[in-house]
Amino acid sequence: MGQVVSVVGGGLAGCECALQLARRGVAVRLYEQRPGHPSPAHHTGALAELVCSNSLKSTKPETAAGLLKDELDLMGCSLLACARSSAVPAGGALAVDRDAFSAEVGRLVGEEPLIELVRERVTRIPEGPCVIAAGPLCADELFDAISGAVGGSRMSFFDAAAPIVDADTLDRDVVFEQSRYGGEGGGDYLNCPMGREEYDAFMEALLGAERVVAREFEQADLFCACQPVEEVGRTGHDSLRFGAMKPVGLTDPRTGRRPWAAVQLRAENAARSAYNLVGFQTNLTWPEQRRVFRMIPGLGGAEFLRYGVMHRNSFVDAPHALDATFKIPGTQARLAGQITGTEGYVEAIASGLLAALNTYAELVGAEPVALPATGALGSLVAYATDPQTRDYQPMHVNYGLVPPLADPPRGKAEKRAALAARAREDLRRYLAARRDLFPDGGARP
Ligand SMILES: Cc1cc2nc3c(=O)[nH]c(=O)nc-3n(C[C@H](O)[C@H](O)[C@H](O)COP(=O)(O)OP(=O)(O)OC[C@H]3O[C@@H](n4cnc5c(N)ncnc54)[C@H](O)[C@@H]3O)c2cc1C
Protein backbone atom coordinates (compact mmCIF):
# COMPACT_ATOMS: atom_id res chain seq x y z
CA MET A 1 0.00 0.00 0.00
CA GLY A 2 1.50 3.35 -1.10
CA GLN A 3 0.18 5.66 1.59
CA VAL A 4 2.07 6.28 4.83
CA VAL A 5 0.00 6.75 8.00
CA SER A 6 1.42 9.03 10.67
CA VAL A 7 0.81 7.85 14.21
CA VAL A 8 1.59 10.43 16.88
CA GLY A 9 2.56 8.99 20.26
CA GLY A 10 4.48 5.82 21.04
CA GLY A 11 2.32 5.05 24.07
CA LEU A 12 -0.17 2.24 24.52
CA ALA A 13 -2.66 3.30 21.84
CA GLY A 14 -0.04 4.49 19.35
CA CYS A 15 2.08 1.33 19.49
CA GLU A 16 -0.93 -0.97 19.12
CA CYS A 17 -2.19 1.13 16.25
CA ALA A 18 1.17 1.15 14.45
CA LEU A 19 1.62 -2.61 14.83
CA GLN A 20 -1.89 -3.37 13.59
CA LEU A 21 -1.53 -1.13 10.55
CA ALA A 22 1.86 -2.58 9.68
CA ARG A 23 0.52 -6.13 9.93
CA ARG A 24 -2.08 -5.17 7.34
CA GLY A 25 0.62 -3.96 4.99
CA VAL A 26 0.32 -0.23 5.77
CA ALA A 27 3.53 1.80 6.17
CA VAL A 28 3.58 3.81 9.41
CA ARG A 29 5.63 6.73 10.65
CA LEU A 30 5.39 6.54 14.43
CA TYR A 31 6.31 9.77 16.22
CA GLU A 32 7.38 9.75 19.85
CA GLN A 33 8.61 12.88 21.61
CA ARG A 34 10.51 11.11 24.37
CA PRO A 35 13.25 10.98 25.48
CA GLY A 36 14.00 14.43 24.00
CA HIS A 37 10.79 15.92 25.43
CA PRO A 38 9.69 13.97 28.50
CA SER A 39 6.09 14.28 29.69
CA PRO A 40 5.37 15.12 33.35
CA ALA A 41 4.41 11.48 34.09
CA HIS A 42 6.73 9.39 31.91
CA HIS A 43 10.12 8.46 33.33
CA THR A 44 11.86 6.78 30.39
CA GLY A 45 12.21 7.01 26.64
CA ALA A 46 10.71 3.54 26.23
CA LEU A 47 7.69 2.88 24.06
CA ALA A 48 4.43 1.91 25.78
CA GLU A 49 5.56 3.10 29.20
CA LEU A 50 3.00 2.52 31.95
CA VAL A 51 2.83 5.83 33.78
CA CYS A 52 1.43 4.64 37.08
CA SER A 53 0.17 1.27 38.31
CA ASN A 54 1.58 -1.87 36.70
CA SER A 55 -1.84 -3.53 36.76
CA LEU A 56 -3.91 -4.03 33.63
CA LYS A 57 -6.78 -5.04 35.89
CA SER A 58 -8.86 -8.18 36.18
CA THR A 59 -8.69 -11.17 33.89
CA LYS A 60 -11.89 -12.63 35.31
CA PRO A 61 -14.50 -13.07 32.58
CA GLU A 62 -17.32 -11.86 34.82
CA THR A 63 -15.72 -8.41 35.03
CA ALA A 64 -15.89 -5.89 32.20
CA ALA A 65 -12.08 -5.60 32.30
CA GLY A 66 -11.80 -9.38 31.84
CA LEU A 67 -14.33 -9.37 29.02
CA LEU A 68 -12.42 -6.59 27.27
CA LYS A 69 -9.29 -8.75 27.33
CA ASP A 70 -11.20 -11.66 25.77
CA GLU A 71 -12.47 -9.37 23.05
CA LEU A 72 -9.00 -8.03 22.33
CA ASP A 73 -7.64 -11.55 22.12
CA LEU A 74 -10.32 -12.37 19.56
CA MET A 75 -9.26 -9.33 17.55
CA GLY A 76 -5.57 -10.29 17.63
CA CYS A 77 -4.34 -7.53 19.96
CA SER A 78 -0.55 -7.24 20.06
CA LEU A 79 0.07 -5.35 23.29
CA LEU A 80 -2.09 -7.67 25.33
CA ALA A 81 0.14 -10.52 24.19
CA CYS A 82 3.16 -8.44 25.29
CA ALA A 83 1.49 -7.91 28.67
CA ARG A 84 0.93 -11.65 29.11
CA SER A 85 4.54 -12.43 28.24
CA SER A 86 5.76 -9.93 30.85
CA ALA A 87 3.17 -10.71 33.53
CA VAL A 88 3.98 -10.83 37.23
CA PRO A 89 1.78 -12.68 39.73
CA ALA A 90 -1.21 -10.58 40.85
CA GLY A 91 -4.03 -12.91 41.80
CA GLY A 92 -6.92 -12.53 39.39
CA ALA A 93 -5.40 -9.47 37.71
CA LEU A 94 -2.97 -9.03 34.84
CA ALA A 95 -0.03 -7.08 36.24
CA VAL A 96 3.21 -6.70 34.34
CA ASP A 97 6.88 -6.05 34.85
CA ARG A 98 6.72 -2.58 33.32
CA ASP A 99 10.27 -2.63 31.91
CA ALA A 100 9.84 -6.07 30.36
CA PHE A 101 6.50 -4.99 28.88
CA SER A 102 7.93 -1.85 27.29
CA ALA A 103 10.96 -3.76 26.05
CA GLU A 104 8.75 -6.33 24.36
CA VAL A 105 6.63 -3.67 22.64
CA GLY A 106 9.82 -1.87 21.61
CA ARG A 107 11.18 -5.09 20.15
CA LEU A 108 8.03 -5.71 18.08
CA VAL A 109 8.00 -2.14 16.79
CA GLY A 110 11.73 -2.24 16.07
CA GLU A 111 11.47 -5.49 14.15
CA GLU A 112 8.54 -4.31 12.02
CA PRO A 113 9.95 -3.20 8.65
CA LEU A 114 6.88 -1.11 7.83
CA ILE A 115 7.22 1.06 10.96
CA GLU A 116 9.61 3.99 10.98
CA LEU A 117 10.07 5.32 14.52
CA VAL A 118 10.73 9.06 14.58
CA ARG A 119 11.83 10.52 17.91
CA GLU A 120 10.33 13.97 17.43
CA ARG A 121 7.73 16.18 19.05
CA VAL A 122 4.82 16.84 16.69
CA THR A 123 3.36 20.34 16.91
CA ARG A 124 0.67 20.25 14.21
CA ILE A 125 -1.83 17.72 12.98
CA PRO A 126 0.18 15.81 10.35
CA GLU A 127 -0.78 15.95 6.67
CA GLY A 128 -2.46 12.87 5.18
CA PRO A 129 -4.03 10.01 7.09
CA CYS A 130 -2.99 10.06 10.71
CA VAL A 131 -3.84 8.78 14.16
CA ILE A 132 -3.13 11.05 17.10
CA ALA A 133 -2.53 8.98 20.21
CA ALA A 134 -0.64 11.58 22.21
CA GLY A 135 -2.23 10.61 25.52
CA PRO A 136 -3.70 12.61 28.38
CA LEU A 137 -0.49 14.64 28.68
CA CYS A 138 -0.39 15.56 24.99
CA ALA A 139 2.13 18.36 24.45
CA ASP A 140 0.46 21.79 24.51
CA GLU A 141 1.05 22.93 20.93
CA LEU A 142 -0.43 19.78 19.46
CA PHE A 143 -3.35 19.84 21.87
CA ASP A 144 -4.05 23.43 20.85
CA ALA A 145 -4.02 22.34 17.20
CA ILE A 146 -6.46 19.51 17.97
CA SER A 147 -8.59 21.87 19.99
CA GLY A 148 -8.75 24.26 17.04
CA ALA A 149 -9.70 21.43 14.67
CA VAL A 150 -12.49 20.15 16.94
CA GLY A 151 -13.87 23.62 17.54
CA GLY A 152 -12.61 24.08 21.08
CA SER A 153 -14.29 20.94 22.46
CA ARG A 154 -11.44 20.03 24.75
CA MET A 155 -11.47 19.20 28.40
CA SER A 156 -9.05 18.36 31.11
CA PHE A 157 -8.90 17.31 34.71
CA PHE A 158 -6.26 16.28 37.17
CA ASP A 159 -5.17 12.72 37.68
CA ALA A 160 -3.02 11.25 40.41
CA ALA A 161 -0.46 8.43 40.61
CA ALA A 162 0.55 6.26 43.61
CA PRO A 163 4.05 6.09 45.14
CA ILE A 164 6.35 3.08 44.75
CA VAL A 165 8.64 1.83 47.53
CA ASP A 166 11.78 -0.29 47.55
CA ALA A 167 10.98 -3.86 48.72
CA ASP A 168 14.26 -4.15 50.61
CA THR A 169 13.29 -1.28 52.88
CA LEU A 170 10.01 -2.77 54.13
CA ASP A 171 9.82 -4.06 57.69
CA ARG A 172 9.03 -7.72 57.10
CA ASP A 173 8.30 -8.28 60.78
CA VAL A 174 5.24 -6.11 60.30
CA VAL A 175 4.04 -6.43 56.69
CA PHE A 176 2.60 -9.79 55.74
CA GLU A 177 1.79 -11.55 52.46
CA GLN A 178 -1.88 -12.32 51.98
CA SER A 179 -4.72 -11.87 49.50
CA ARG A 180 -8.10 -10.96 50.91
CA TYR A 181 -10.02 -13.96 52.27
CA GLY A 182 -6.91 -16.08 51.58
CA GLY A 183 -7.90 -15.93 47.90
CA GLU A 184 -5.94 -16.61 44.72
CA GLY A 185 -2.30 -15.55 44.53
CA GLY A 186 -1.80 -15.47 48.31
CA GLY A 187 1.57 -13.81 48.18
CA ASP A 188 0.96 -11.26 45.46
CA TYR A 189 0.02 -8.57 47.94
CA LEU A 190 1.80 -7.36 51.03
CA ASN A 191 -0.30 -5.83 53.78
CA CYS A 192 0.59 -3.16 56.29
CA PRO A 193 -1.75 -3.69 59.28
CA MET A 194 -2.84 -0.68 61.35
CA GLY A 195 -4.32 -0.49 64.81
CA ARG A 196 -7.03 2.02 65.69
CA GLU A 197 -4.68 4.58 67.26
CA GLU A 198 -2.23 4.27 64.40
CA TYR A 199 -5.06 4.90 61.96
CA ASP A 200 -6.27 7.96 63.86
CA ALA A 201 -2.77 9.44 63.93
CA PHE A 202 -2.22 8.64 60.28
CA MET A 203 -5.48 10.33 59.27
CA GLU A 204 -4.59 13.44 61.21
CA ALA A 205 -1.20 13.65 59.51
CA LEU A 206 -2.66 12.91 56.08
CA LEU A 207 -5.30 15.60 56.26
CA GLY A 208 -2.88 18.17 57.64
CA ALA A 209 -0.13 17.49 55.10
CA GLU A 210 0.98 20.00 52.54
CA ARG A 211 -0.31 19.45 49.00
CA VAL A 212 1.03 20.47 45.61
CA VAL A 213 -0.90 22.98 43.46
CA ALA A 214 -3.65 22.98 46.05
CA ARG A 215 -5.46 25.97 44.63
CA GLU A 216 -5.36 24.77 41.06
CA PHE A 217 -6.44 21.31 42.14
CA GLU A 218 -9.33 22.55 44.23
CA GLN A 219 -10.70 24.36 41.22
CA ALA A 220 -10.08 21.40 38.94
CA ASP A 221 -12.60 18.89 37.79
CA LEU A 222 -11.15 15.73 39.32
CA PHE A 223 -12.12 12.38 37.93
CA CYS A 224 -13.68 10.70 40.96
CA ALA A 225 -12.37 7.20 40.13
CA CYS A 226 -8.83 8.44 40.63
CA GLN A 227 -9.19 10.64 43.71
CA PRO A 228 -6.02 11.29 45.67
CA VAL A 229 -5.97 9.40 48.94
CA GLU A 230 -5.99 12.62 50.97
CA GLU A 231 -9.13 13.77 49.16
CA VAL A 232 -10.91 10.51 49.91
CA GLY A 233 -9.76 10.89 53.53
CA ARG A 234 -11.25 14.35 53.65
CA THR A 235 -14.72 12.95 52.92
CA GLY A 236 -14.90 11.25 56.34
CA HIS A 237 -12.68 9.84 59.08
CA ASP A 238 -13.50 6.24 58.14
CA SER A 239 -13.73 6.66 54.35
CA LEU A 240 -10.33 5.09 53.79
CA ARG A 241 -11.11 2.20 56.17
CA PHE A 242 -13.97 1.39 53.85
CA GLY A 243 -11.93 2.10 50.72
CA ALA A 244 -8.22 1.78 49.92
CA MET A 245 -7.39 0.83 53.53
CA LYS A 246 -10.16 -1.65 54.13
CA PRO A 247 -9.04 -4.56 56.32
CA VAL A 248 -11.80 -7.03 55.37
CA GLY A 249 -10.64 -10.52 54.50
CA LEU A 250 -7.21 -10.00 56.09
CA THR A 251 -5.80 -11.64 59.22
CA ASP A 252 -2.67 -10.22 60.79
CA PRO A 253 -0.50 -13.28 61.58
CA ARG A 254 1.00 -11.46 64.58
CA THR A 255 -2.35 -11.08 66.33
CA GLY A 256 -4.53 -13.67 64.58
CA ARG A 257 -7.11 -10.89 64.16
CA ARG A 258 -8.36 -8.56 61.50
CA PRO A 259 -6.47 -5.24 61.67
CA TRP A 260 -8.38 -1.97 62.15
CA ALA A 261 -7.17 -0.82 58.73
CA ALA A 262 -4.57 -2.02 56.20
CA VAL A 263 -2.56 -0.59 53.35
CA GLN A 264 -1.98 -3.07 50.53
CA LEU A 265 1.22 -3.13 48.50
CA ARG A 266 1.32 -4.70 45.05
CA ALA A 267 4.47 -5.99 43.38
CA GLU A 268 5.75 -3.77 40.59
CA ASN A 269 7.93 -6.35 38.87
CA ALA A 270 8.62 -10.06 38.64
CA ALA A 271 11.56 -9.77 41.00
CA ARG A 272 9.26 -8.13 43.57
CA SER A 273 11.92 -5.54 44.23
CA ALA A 274 9.42 -2.68 44.24
CA TYR A 275 5.85 -2.29 45.49
CA ASN A 276 3.19 0.34 44.88
CA LEU A 277 0.79 1.53 47.56
CA VAL A 278 -2.54 0.38 46.16
CA GLY A 279 -5.07 3.20 45.93
CA PHE A 280 -2.59 5.77 47.25
CA GLN A 281 -2.63 8.20 44.35
CA THR A 282 -1.67 11.45 45.93
CA ASN A 283 -1.08 15.12 45.54
CA LEU A 284 1.04 15.59 48.69
CA THR A 285 4.42 17.25 48.31
CA TRP A 286 7.27 14.75 48.16
CA PRO A 287 8.70 15.51 51.63
CA GLU A 288 5.19 15.15 53.05
CA GLN A 289 4.73 11.80 51.32
CA ARG A 290 7.95 10.63 52.96
CA ARG A 291 6.80 11.88 56.37
CA VAL A 292 3.18 10.76 56.29
CA PHE A 293 3.45 7.44 54.43
CA ARG A 294 6.33 6.35 56.66
CA MET A 295 3.78 6.39 59.48
CA ILE A 296 2.21 3.33 57.86
CA PRO A 297 3.31 0.28 59.91
CA GLY A 298 6.06 -1.55 58.03
CA LEU A 299 7.00 1.53 55.98
CA GLY A 300 8.92 3.33 58.75
CA GLY A 301 12.19 3.01 56.84
CA ALA A 302 10.73 2.81 53.34
CA GLU A 303 12.73 4.30 50.48
CA PHE A 304 10.55 5.82 47.81
CA LEU A 305 11.57 4.78 44.32
CA ARG A 306 8.90 7.06 42.89
CA TYR A 307 6.67 9.56 44.59
CA GLY A 308 2.98 9.94 43.84
CA VAL A 309 2.26 12.71 41.37
CA MET A 310 -0.66 14.59 39.98
CA HIS A 311 -1.10 15.66 36.40
CA ARG A 312 -3.29 17.33 33.89
CA ASN A 313 -5.36 14.80 31.99
CA SER A 314 -6.60 16.17 28.70
CA PHE A 315 -9.18 14.76 26.35
CA VAL A 316 -11.63 15.97 23.74
CA ASP A 317 -15.38 15.92 24.01
CA ALA A 318 -15.56 12.89 21.72
CA PRO A 319 -19.37 12.50 21.55
CA HIS A 320 -19.70 16.03 20.23
CA ALA A 321 -16.38 16.62 18.47
CA LEU A 322 -15.55 13.35 16.70
CA ASP A 323 -17.40 11.00 14.36
CA ALA A 324 -18.31 7.40 15.18
CA THR A 325 -14.77 6.28 14.26
CA PHE A 326 -13.12 8.96 16.46
CA LYS A 327 -12.18 10.98 13.39
CA ILE A 328 -12.16 14.77 13.41
CA PRO A 329 -14.88 15.52 10.86
CA GLY A 330 -13.60 17.00 7.61
CA THR A 331 -10.00 15.89 8.23
CA GLN A 332 -7.93 12.74 7.80
CA ALA A 333 -7.03 12.74 11.50
CA ARG A 334 -8.36 10.18 13.92
CA LEU A 335 -7.80 10.23 17.70
CA ALA A 336 -6.98 7.18 19.81
CA GLY A 337 -6.25 6.38 23.44
CA GLN A 338 -6.96 8.42 26.52
CA ILE A 339 -7.15 11.66 24.53
CA THR A 340 -10.57 10.43 23.30
CA GLY A 341 -11.79 10.25 26.88
CA THR A 342 -11.76 6.47 27.16
CA GLU A 343 -9.93 5.72 30.39
CA GLY A 344 -7.45 3.01 31.31
CA TYR A 345 -4.44 1.15 29.97
CA VAL A 346 -6.31 -1.66 28.26
CA GLU A 347 -8.95 0.72 26.96
CA ALA A 348 -6.11 2.77 25.39
CA ILE A 349 -4.70 -0.35 23.76
CA ALA A 350 -8.18 -1.26 22.48
CA SER A 351 -8.70 2.21 21.13
CA GLY A 352 -5.39 2.03 19.23
CA LEU A 353 -6.46 -1.25 17.68
CA LEU A 354 -9.78 0.24 16.66
CA ALA A 355 -8.13 3.32 15.15
CA ALA A 356 -5.90 1.06 13.07
CA LEU A 357 -8.87 -0.94 11.82
CA ASN A 358 -10.86 2.15 10.90
CA THR A 359 -7.87 3.80 9.21
CA TYR A 360 -7.16 0.63 7.28
CA ALA A 361 -10.85 0.29 6.31
CA GLU A 362 -10.81 3.82 4.96
CA LEU A 363 -7.61 3.25 2.99
CA VAL A 364 -9.00 0.14 1.28
CA GLY A 365 -12.52 1.57 0.83
CA ALA A 366 -14.15 -0.83 3.31
CA GLU A 367 -16.97 -0.12 5.75
CA PRO A 368 -15.90 1.37 9.09
CA VAL A 369 -15.84 -0.90 12.11
CA ALA A 370 -19.14 -1.16 13.97
CA LEU A 371 -18.52 -3.39 16.97
CA PRO A 372 -21.61 -4.90 18.61
CA ALA A 373 -22.72 -2.61 21.45
CA THR A 374 -23.21 -5.69 23.65
CA GLY A 375 -19.46 -5.98 24.17
CA ALA A 376 -17.15 -4.23 26.63
CA LEU A 377 -15.39 -2.31 23.86
CA GLY A 378 -18.46 -1.87 21.65
CA SER A 379 -20.48 -0.37 24.51
CA LEU A 380 -17.63 1.98 25.48
CA VAL A 381 -17.33 3.17 21.87
CA ALA A 382 -21.10 3.64 21.70
CA TYR A 383 -20.99 5.77 24.85
CA ALA A 384 -17.99 7.80 23.68
CA THR A 385 -19.39 8.54 20.24
CA ASP A 386 -23.07 9.03 21.04
CA PRO A 387 -24.03 12.70 20.65
CA GLN A 388 -26.71 12.09 23.31
CA THR A 389 -23.95 11.58 25.92
CA ARG A 390 -24.00 14.55 28.30
CA ASP A 391 -21.19 15.82 30.56
CA TYR A 392 -18.71 13.48 28.95
CA GLN A 393 -16.16 12.19 31.43
CA PRO A 394 -13.37 9.62 30.99
CA MET A 395 -14.84 6.17 31.26
CA HIS A 396 -13.52 2.67 31.81
CA VAL A 397 -15.30 -0.30 30.31
CA ASN A 398 -18.11 -1.35 32.64
CA TYR A 399 -21.23 -3.44 32.53
CA GLY A 400 -23.34 -0.36 33.19
CA LEU A 401 -22.77 0.66 29.56
CA VAL A 402 -23.94 -2.66 28.14
CA PRO A 403 -27.60 -2.98 27.05
CA PRO A 404 -29.54 -5.21 29.50
CA LEU A 405 -30.51 -8.78 28.68
CA ALA A 406 -34.07 -9.35 27.57
CA ASP A 407 -34.53 -12.14 30.09
CA PRO A 408 -31.73 -11.91 32.66
CA PRO A 409 -30.98 -14.83 34.98
CA ARG A 410 -31.25 -14.20 38.72
CA GLY A 411 -28.07 -13.42 40.62
CA LYS A 412 -25.32 -10.96 39.75
CA ALA A 413 -22.73 -13.59 38.81
CA GLU A 414 -25.15 -15.42 36.53
CA LYS A 415 -26.21 -12.17 34.90
CA ARG A 416 -22.61 -11.15 34.26
CA ALA A 417 -21.82 -14.58 32.83
CA ALA A 418 -24.80 -14.30 30.46
CA LEU A 419 -23.77 -10.80 29.40
CA ALA A 420 -20.21 -11.97 28.74
CA ALA A 421 -21.40 -14.98 26.74
CA ARG A 422 -23.69 -12.77 24.65
CA ALA A 423 -20.86 -10.30 24.04
CA ARG A 424 -18.41 -13.00 22.92
CA GLU A 425 -20.94 -14.60 20.63
CA ASP A 426 -21.92 -11.28 19.02
CA LEU A 427 -18.28 -10.29 18.52
CA ARG A 428 -17.36 -13.67 17.02
CA ARG A 429 -20.23 -13.33 14.56
CA TYR A 430 -19.20 -9.78 13.67
CA LEU A 431 -15.56 -10.68 13.14
CA ALA A 432 -16.48 -13.64 10.98
CA ALA A 433 -18.53 -11.26 8.80
CA ARG A 434 -15.61 -8.83 8.50
CA ARG A 435 -13.01 -10.99 6.83
CA ASP A 436 -11.92 -7.89 4.93
CA LEU A 437 -10.45 -6.62 8.21
CA PHE A 438 -9.84 -9.95 9.92
CA PRO A 439 -8.80 -12.44 7.24
CA ASP A 440 -9.14 -15.42 9.56
CA GLY A 441 -12.34 -14.29 11.23
CA GLY A 442 -10.72 -12.86 14.31
CA ALA A 443 -7.32 -14.29 15.03
CA ARG A 444 -4.15 -12.29 14.38
CA PRO A 445 -3.91 -11.24 10.70
C1 LIG B 1 -0.71 10.34 35.93
C2 LIG B 1 -1.56 9.28 35.28
C3 LIG B 1 -1.71 8.05 35.88
C4 LIG B 1 -2.49 7.06 35.28
N5 LIG B 1 -2.60 5.86 35.90
C6 LIG B 1 -3.30 4.86 35.31
C7 LIG B 1 -3.38 3.57 35.93
O8 LIG B 1 -2.79 3.35 36.98
N9 LIG B 1 -4.11 2.61 35.33
C10 LIG B 1 -4.75 2.84 34.16
O11 LIG B 1 -5.39 1.90 33.64
N12 LIG B 1 -4.70 4.03 33.55
C13 LIG B 1 -4.00 5.06 34.10
N14 LIG B 1 -3.95 6.30 33.50
C15 LIG B 1 -4.78 6.55 32.32
C16 LIG B 1 -4.30 5.95 30.99
O17 LIG B 1 -4.57 4.59 30.95
C18 LIG B 1 -2.86 6.19 30.66
O19 LIG B 1 -2.62 7.56 30.58
C20 LIG B 1 -2.43 5.51 29.33
O21 LIG B 1 -1.05 5.56 29.24
C22 LIG B 1 -3.07 6.17 28.12
O23 LIG B 1 -2.54 5.60 26.95
P24 LIG B 1 -2.31 6.49 25.67
O25 LIG B 1 -1.71 5.61 24.63
O26 LIG B 1 -3.54 7.21 25.34
O27 LIG B 1 -1.26 7.60 26.12
P28 LIG B 1 0.25 7.42 26.57
O29 LIG B 1 0.53 6.04 26.99
O30 LIG B 1 0.52 8.54 27.51
O31 LIG B 1 1.06 7.69 25.23
C32 LIG B 1 1.10 8.93 24.63
C33 LIG B 1 2.48 9.12 24.02
O34 LIG B 1 2.49 10.25 23.19
C35 LIG B 1 3.69 10.96 23.35
N36 LIG B 1 3.42 12.34 22.92
C37 LIG B 1 2.62 13.26 23.50
N38 LIG B 1 2.58 14.40 22.77
C39 LIG B 1 3.39 14.18 21.70
C40 LIG B 1 3.76 14.97 20.59
N41 LIG B 1 3.28 16.20 20.44
N42 LIG B 1 4.62 14.45 19.68
C43 LIG B 1 5.11 13.19 19.82
N44 LIG B 1 4.79 12.39 20.86
C45 LIG B 1 3.93 12.88 21.78
C46 LIG B 1 3.98 10.80 24.83
O47 LIG B 1 5.34 11.00 25.11
C48 LIG B 1 3.53 9.37 25.08
O49 LIG B 1 4.57 8.44 24.90
C50 LIG B 1 -3.16 7.31 34.05
C51 LIG B 1 -3.01 8.55 33.45
C52 LIG B 1 -2.22 9.54 34.05
C53 LIG B 1 -2.06 10.86 33.37
Residue 215: pLDDT band (50, 70, 90) is very low
The residue whose CA has the least distance to atom 30 of ligand 1 is 135
Distance from C-alpha of 186 to C-alpha of 89, rounded to nearest angstrom: 10
Q: Where on the phi/psi map is residue 350: left (φ > 0), alpha (ψ -120 to 50), or beta? A: alpha
Number of compact structural domains in the chain:
2
Mean pLDDT of the region 227-242 = 94
- 126 and 169 share a domain? no
The residue whose CA has the least distance to atom 22 of ligand 1 is 338
Domain boundary among 277, 307, 337: 307
CA of 344 to the centre of ligand 1 (A): 9
Instruction: Quickly count: other Cβ atoms within 10 Å of residue 353's Cβ.
Output: 26
Mean pLDDT of the region 15-31 = 97
Beta strands in 77-143 (DSSP E): 87-88, 93-96, 115-118, 130-132
CA 185 → CA 70, 90, 182, distances in Å?
Answer: 21, 6, 8
* CATH code, domain carrying 231: 2.40.30.260
Ligand 1 site residues, Cβ closer than 6 angstroms: 8-14, 31-34, 39, 41-42, 51-53, 121-122, 133-139, 142, 159, 161, 311, 313, 337-339, 343-345, 348
Atom of ligand 1 nearest to the CA of 394: 15
| Residue-wise pLDDT tens digits, 111-151 | 999 999 999 999 999 999 999 999 998 988 999 999 999 98
- Percentage of the chain exceeding pLDDT 90: 68
Distance from C-alpha of 98 to C-alpha of 53, rounded to nearest angstrom: 9
Is 442 inside a domain boundary? no
Domain boundary among 242, 275, 307: 307
Q: Where on the phi/psi map is residue 411: left (φ > 0), alpha (ψ -120 to 50), or beta? A: left
Is 124 inside a domain boundary? yes
Q: What is the dihedral of CA 280, 285, 290, 295, to 10 degrees?
A: -60
Is 87 inside a domain boundary? yes
- 284 and 388 share a domain? no
Distance from C-alpha of 282 to C-alpha of 231, rounded to nearest angstrom: 8
Which residues span the domain enclosing 208? 164-307
Of 52, 109, 143, which is best to mutate to test ligand 1, by the most ligand atoms within 8 angstroms of its C-beta? Answer: 52
CA 399 → CA 283, 354, 376, 419, distances in Å?
Answer: 30, 20, 7, 8
